[in-house]
Amino acid sequence: MRSKMYLYHYYDKSGAPFRNLSELSADEAKAVLEKIKTEKPDSQCAERHAKYVDYRRNCEEILRTEFLKKGGKILRTPPHYMVVEHSPWLSTWYENCGVVKIPIEEFDTATLSFTYGDSMPTFGINDGKEYRQKLYTYDEILKIIEKYGLPQDWNDDGKHGPERYVEVHVWSDETVGKYR
């Protein structure tokens, strides 16, 4: 693993970083998705299906439950989303992409959980890979990254499965608040 780890957050510059559909009511979130489909039809976010908000909220409940089992500190609901190191694929999601890059040392790692790949396929696919159906603490994800490498280094194009990055769930506003 690299000697210094950075966490990245990608967002559309027409808005602000660290905004989450799960912070909105179901109707508001669906209206935002419809607006994206109309105004930015070529963006990756425009491809989300009608049940995306429901699936996302269900996945976040799994993340919370699993993180609590591991003794994680949850200071906000829902989490903020970031990834470990730069993801070339995620940087193409927005027509006018912005990025926030934060060294991991700025975070209380007890407020961070990780999935090897995006959390929705991680908990939605069961193909026998050891990192499916699992949420990791910081120390645990370091071992998985050491074993498999970063997905964006071997699967940025998605040809080898849905894992394209290591997803980070930030369960606190403390650090990201400085970057909002």
* Alpha carbon distance 52, 3 (integer Å): 36
pLDDT at 24: 74
**What's the whole-model pTM score?**
0.87
Give the end-to-end CA distance of the chain in Å, rounded to a whole number. Answer: 28
Residue 68 half-sphere exposure toward CB, CA atoms < 13 A: 10
CB of 67 closer than 8 Å to CB of 75: no
The residue whose two tokens read 């799960």 is 22
Split at pLDDT 50, 70, 90, the class of 106 is very high
Longest dimension (CA), the chain: 44
Q: Encode pLDDT of 73-96 as tens digits.
A: 999 999 999 999 999 998 888 878
At residue 150, what are phi and psi to the nearest 5 degrees?
Answer: -85, 130
pLDDT for 41 beyond 90: no
pLDDT at 113: 98
Residue 43 or 63, more confident: 63
pLDDT for 57 beyond 90: no
- SS3 state of residue 49: coil
% of the chain with per-residue pLDDT over 70:
88
